[in-house]
Chain A
Amino acid sequence: KAGVTQTPRYLIKTRGQQVTLSCSPISGHRSVSWYQQTPGQGLQFLFEYFSETQRNKGNFPGRFSGRQFSNSRSEMNVSTLELGDSALYLCASSPLPSGTGNSYEQYFGPGTRLTVT
């Protein structure tokens, strides 16, 4: 089974621009979560999608948004980029969503490293 794939792997953007990152979950997995990882803040939960619906959202400004398609692929978008948005963005997939009594074991992709200049 193919793992979680994320594209692109590396991205350089300028302040004020917007960016879209893509994540393809493991086949059969319908839950996709996004995380931001920075040296200062560590790993922080962004949001979770299941069946094209956002189930949970972390404490991030509205500039961060996402969506999920009917094939479970997900995209996240960051508008009006700031220098502080430079980070590794990780996507994780799970067979079931959080809160369904499952143990929420997630499988992570390699991440997209975003650099904002």
Chain B
Amino acid sequence: AQKVTQAQTEISVVEKEDVTLDCVYETRDTTYYLFWYKQPPSGELVFLIRRNSFDEQNEISGRYSWNFQKSTSSFNFTITASQVVDSAVYFCALYSNYQLIWGAGTKLIIKP
């Protein structure tokens, strides 16, 4: 069975703190893709990153970084020096066997 688990329902931090959003996935496929999307209050899902199962290299994009570990089936997302504009719901998703499976999302609240 394919599954994505985002155990953190809601996280609240003060601006400038670092925060990590966890994502654990399950799949039996050897080829798959992992995604992170951001959904601000406006509702539109914004693509953040895509990772394929053969590329475990971590990635950094500005204040955002992603840690992909196949050994633990995790694809965690860290925001460094968080800002109020980072407040949103963040979704992790797994593309495998022609389906895109979504996690339940983590609501991130950044307080000024």
For B47, the chain A residues whose CB sits under 8 A away are 105-108
Give the chain A neighbours of B30 by CB distance below 8 A.
Answer: none
Q: Does B33 interact with chain A (Cβ within 8 Å)? A: yes
B9 to chain A, nearest CB (A): 11
Contact between B95 and A98, CB atoms less than 8 A apart? yes
Contact indicator A111/B91 (Cβ below 8 Å): no
Is B50 part of the contact surface with A, judged by Cβ < 8 Å? yes
Query: How many whole Å from A89's CB to the nearest CB in chain B?
Result: 11
The interface bits of chain B over 47-83 (1 if a CB of A lies within 8 angstroms of the residue's CB, else 0) are 1001010000000000000000000000000000000
Docked Cα-Cα span, A61 to B57, in Å, equals 41
Q: Is the interface of B mostly helix, strand, loop or mixed?
A: strand
Q: Is A103 an interface residue (CB 8 A)?
A: yes
Chain A residues with Cβ below 8 Å from B50 are: 103, 105
Quick check: B45 and A56 within 8 Å, CB to CB? no
In the complex, A104 has a CB within 8 A of chain B: yes
Q: From B37, B44, B91, B98, give the contact of A98 (CB < 8 A).
A: B98
Query: A111 and B33 in contact (CB under 8 A), knowing A98-B95, A103-B50, A104-B95?
Result: no
A59 to chain B, nearest CB (A): 10
- The tally of residues in B whose CB lies under 8 Å from a CB in A reads 21
A45 touches B43 (CB 8 A): no
* Interface membership of B100, Cβ < 8 A: yes
> Cβ of A108 and Cβ of B105 under 8 Å apart?
no
A83 to chain B: which residues have CB within 8 Å?
A: none
Known contacts A42-B105, A43-B91, A98-B95; decide if A104 and B43 are in contact (CB<8 Å). no
Interface residues of A (CB under 8 A from B): 33, 42-45, 55-56, 58, 88, 90, 92, 98-99, 103-111, 113
Additional 7 contacts, C-beta under 8 A, given A98-B98, A98-B99, A103-B33:
A43-B91, A56-B99, A58-B99, A106-B47, A109-B44, A111-B43, A111-B44
Q: Which positions in B face A, CB cutoff 8 Å?
A: 33, 35, 37, 42-47, 50, 52, 91, 93, 95, 98-100, 102-105
The 7 closest A-B pairs by CB, nearest first: A108-B45, A43-B102, A110-B44, A99-B98, A98-B98, A104-B95, A111-B43
